[in-house]
Amino acid sequence: MYVNIILEKEPGLAILIINRPQAMNALNYDTLQEIKDAVRQISQDNGIKALIITGAGEKAFVAGADIAYMENLTAIQGREFGALGQSVFSSIENLPIPVIAAVNGFALGGGCELAMACDIRLVSEKARFGQPEVSLGITPGFGGTQRLARLIGAGPAKELIYTGMNIDANEAYRLGLANHIYPIDSLMDEARNMARKISGNAPLAVSMCKTAINKGMQADIDTGLAIEADVFGLCFSTRDQKEGMNAFLNKRKADFAGN
C-alpha cells in the first residue's frame, strides 16, 4: 500500500517505519502524505494502544526534509510544504494514544521535528539530533522553532537552531530531548517494552493524561489545573476507574476495557 513507509501492527501496538534508507529516510511530499494516511488509520483503530515511530536501517531516523525536493520551491510552495509537515506532525502529537520515537540514527531538521512531535524519545547510542536549517538558508519549518524551545528551554533551543550544530545522544539526554539511551541492537525491544507497559494501564486514563499535559503546556498554570480537574473528574464516569480501584482493593490484576 505504501512506498515510503511501512506500517506494522502487533497486538495493541503499531509500528510506523520511515522507509527511504537510500535517502537517509528524508521527508518529501509523498512521504508526508503517507505518514498522514497511516496516522489517520491508526487513530481509527481502537485496538492500538500505542505507536512507535522509527526509521529503516541504522544510519538515520529521519535525516531531514528532502533537500532535492525543496531546492526549487517558490515562497508559496515552501509555505505550503511547511504547513503540510506541521499538520502531519500535529496529527501525531494529537493522537489520543502515546507515541514513542525510537531514534536509531540521525534525527536532523524534519527528523528532529518528527521526534519532538512524539510523546517520548528513546534513542540509540548512535543518535544525532540537530536543526541545521540555517546552513541551508531556511528556518525550521515543521515545528522546530516551537517544540524545541518548549522541550529544552528557549536558550538552548536558540543555540542549537542559530548555530545549526548537531548533538550526540548524551547531550540530547542532558538537555531533556532524549528520555533514555540504549544500544542500537536493543532499541526496538526497549521501545516495545515501554509501549506494552503503557498499554497495560487504563487506556482512557493514559489518553486523558496526554490531553491534560499537552493542553496545559499551552496555557497558564490556573487554566492547566482546570483542565486537570476536568479530566480527573471524567475518569470517575468510566468502567476502568471502577475496575482499577476494585482490583487494587482486592489485590488482583486489573482488566481494563478502555471505557
- For residue 51 the three cell numbers come to 505507536
pLDDT of residue 58: 86
Residues 168 and 214 occupy one common structural domain: no
- Per-residue pLDDT tens digits for 73-126: 999 999 999 999 999 999 999 999 999 999 999 999 999 999 999 999 999 999
- Residue 86 identity (one-letter amino acid): Q
DSSP symbols for 124-184: ETT-EEE--GGGGT----SSHHHHHHHHH-HHHHHHHHHH--EEEHHHHHHHTS-SEEE-G
Mean pLDDT over 214-243 rounds to 95
Catalytic entry in 113, 125, 171, 228: 113
In this prediction, residues 197-203 reach a mean pLDDT of: 94
Question: 111 and 234 share a domain?
Answer: no
Same-domain check for residues 150 and 24 = yes
- Sheet-wide strand order for 180-182: 5-10, 13-18, 50-55, 99-103, 120-124, 180-182
Local structure of 56: helix, strand or coil? coil
Tell me, yes or no, whether 184 and 236 share the same domain.
no
Residue 231 belongs to a domain with what CATH number? 1.10.12.10
Q: Is 133 in the active site?
A: yes
The answer to whether position 73 is within a domain reads: yes
The verdict on residue 257 lying in a domain is no
Residues 157-193: pLDDT tens digits? 999 999 999 999 999 999 999 999 999 999 999 999 9
Q: CB-based contacts of 14: which residues, under 8 Å, 6+ apart?
A: 7, 8, 42, 45, 48, 50, 51, 52
Confirm whether 118 is domain-assigned: yes
Tell me if residue 113 is catalytic.
Answer: yes
Q: Is residue 85 part of a domain?
A: yes
Sheet of 128-130, strand order? 60-62, 106-108, 128-130, 166-168
Residues 113 and 211 grouped into a single domain: no
Give the CATH number for residue 96: 3.90.226.10
Q: Are both 178 and 238 inside the same structural domain?
A: no
**pLDDT confidence band for 259 (50 / 70 / 90):** confident
Closest CA to 191 of 1, 3, 8, 5: 8
Domain boundary among 199, 215, 230: 199
Task: Judge if 44 and 76 occupy the same domain.
Answer: yes
Residue 115 belongs to domain spanning: 5-199
Give the tens place of pLDDT for each residue, 172-181: 999 999 999 9
CB atoms within 10 A of CB 5: 23
- Asked, for residue 229, whether it belongs to a domain, the answer is yes
Same domain, 129 and 245: no
What is the pTM assigned to this prediction?
0.95
Task: Specify the number of domains making up the chain.
Answer: 2
Q: Which of 128, 102, 124, 127 shows the shortest CA–CA distance to 115?
A: 102
Q: How far is CA 140 from CA 25, 53, 78, 125, 224, in A?
A: 18, 21, 12, 25, 28
Q: Is the pLDDT of residue 1 over 90?
A: no
Q: Is 1 in contact with 40 (CB distance < 8 Å)? A: no
Both 113 and 237 in one domain: the answer is no
Q: Which residue has the cell 550526540?
A: 168
Q: Does the residue 256 lie in any domain?
A: no
Whether 255 is covered by a domain: the verdict is no
- Report if residue 258 sits inside a domain: no
DSSP state of 65: B
Nearest alpha-carbon partner for 115 in 137, 142, 87: 142
pLDDT of residue 258: 83
User: How many residues appear in the chain?
Assistant: 259
Which residue is catalytic, options 93, 133, 228, 243? 133
Domain boundary pick from 163, 183, 199: 199
Are residues 149 and 213 both part of a single domain? no
Task: Indicate whether 164 and 216 sit together in one domain.
Answer: no
Last residue of a domain, one of 178, 199, 220: 199
Same domain, 136 and 20: yes
